Amino acid sequence: MSEIKVIAIDGPSGAGKGAVTQALAARTGFHVLDSGALYRLVGLAARRSGLDLTSEKAVAKLARELDIAFKPAYEGPEPLAVWLGDSEVTHQIRTDEAGVDASTVAALPKVREALEDLQLSFRKPPGLIADGRDMGTVVFKDAGVKIFLTASASVRADRRYNQLKTKGMDVSLADLLESIEARDKRDSNRSTSPLVPAEDAIIIDSSDLSLAEVIARVWSVIENSDLMGANTNAD
Ligand code: DC
């Protein structure tokens, strides 16, 4: 078992995992794994290659050979610029359609398997904050802190709507809600690594909380764990 500490942040789309992850990264200096971005990249690469997104073997092969890079972004709302081969796809992978494609390829067991080593390679000193659906249940089962961050579908659709509007994307709230509900269903009902809280996860419902309140709650969970050697309950 690795000594390198992991904080797993799992939950459905739009629950605020990304913002919480960035805030925790700034406080801890830990690395970040945005595992959803990997599935989004596989979906996009599969589209670009003209593959049927449900053809498991072909998409898994592509996932194993994925040529990607995360680079510091100097402009725009995303913390990192995302590259696929020699093209920058930072915004392209964030569309709602890219999310649906990601959820489709993510339901294929061989694709999940193909991305496992890549995900594990993000675990480097001083630690990792891993954002996804199965970070605490499958990929980093030994994470020192596991948070399952959720919110009602309508609150998540509202947040996503405002987020995409800020990025200048043209979206409809009703379509987003429908798509979020369909994505929840697909992510929760698949046979491999479904979206469920780990048994030892702390569940936080952010429906009625501000981002600052969510971050404060998560931070208090971290402080009360022995993850940072900062067990505030210890004498
Ligand atoms: O977090 P996100 O919205 O970027 O994720 C996009 C999709 O990828 C999501 O609907 C399900 C899938 N996903 C997954 O199956 N497992 C993960 N660890 C992360 C994302």
Residue 22 Cβ contacting ligand 1 at under 6 Å: no
Provide, for the chain, the percentages of residues in helix, strand and coil under a 3-state DSSP scheme, each rounded to the nearest 5.
45, 15, 35
| Inside any domain, residue 35 | yes
Take residue 183 and report the two structure tokens written for it. Answer: 């994505």
Mean pLDDT of the chain: 91
Residue 179 Cβ contacting ligand 1 at under 6 Å: no
Chain segment 30-76, per-residue pLDDT in tens: 999 999 999 999 999 999 999 999 999 999 999 999 999 998 876 76
Nearest CA to ligand 1 atom 15: 106
Residue 14 Cβ contacting ligand 1 at under 6 Å: no
Q: What pLDDT, on the 0 to 100 scale, is given for residue 166?
A: 85
Q: What pLDDT, on the 0 to 100 scale, is given for residue 74?
A: 67
- Ligand 1 test: best mutation among 89, 97, 100, 133, most atoms within 8 Å of CB? 133
Nearest CA to ligand 1 atom 4: 36
Most confident range, picked from 58-67, 96-105, 173-182, 188-197: 58-67
Chain segment 133-172, per-residue pLDDT in tens: 999 999 999 999 999 999 999 999 999 899 888 878 888 9
Query: Considering the entire predicted model, what is its pTM?
Result: 0.91
Distance 231 CA to ligand 1 centre (A): 31
Task: Check which CATH number belongs to the domain holding 72 and give it.
Answer: 3.40.50.300
How many domains, in total, are found in the chain? 1
Distance 204 CA to ligand 1 centre (A): 19
Q: How confident is the model at residue 231 (pLDDT cuts 50, 70, 90)?
A: very low
**Domain range for 148:** 5-221
Contact at 8 Å (CB) between 107 and 166?
A: no
| Inside any domain, residue 112 | yes
| Inside any domain, residue 10 | yes
Distance 103 CA to ligand 1 centre (A): 6
Residue 187 Cβ contacting ligand 1 at under 6 Å: yes
Distance 133 CA to ligand 1 centre (A): 6
Residue matched to tokens 């359609």: 97
| Inside any domain, residue 198 | yes
Closest ligand 1 atom to Cα of 134: 18
| Inside any domain, residue 235 | no
Nearest CA to ligand 1 atom 6: 36
Distance 9 CA to ligand 1 centre (A): 12
| Inside any domain, residue 217 | yes
Please state, as a whole number, how many other Cβ atoms lie within 10 Å of the Cβ of residue 106.
Answer: 28
Contact at 8 Å (CB) between 129 and 25?
A: yes
Is beta strand 202-205 parallel, antiparallel or unpaired with respect to 145-150? Answer: parallel
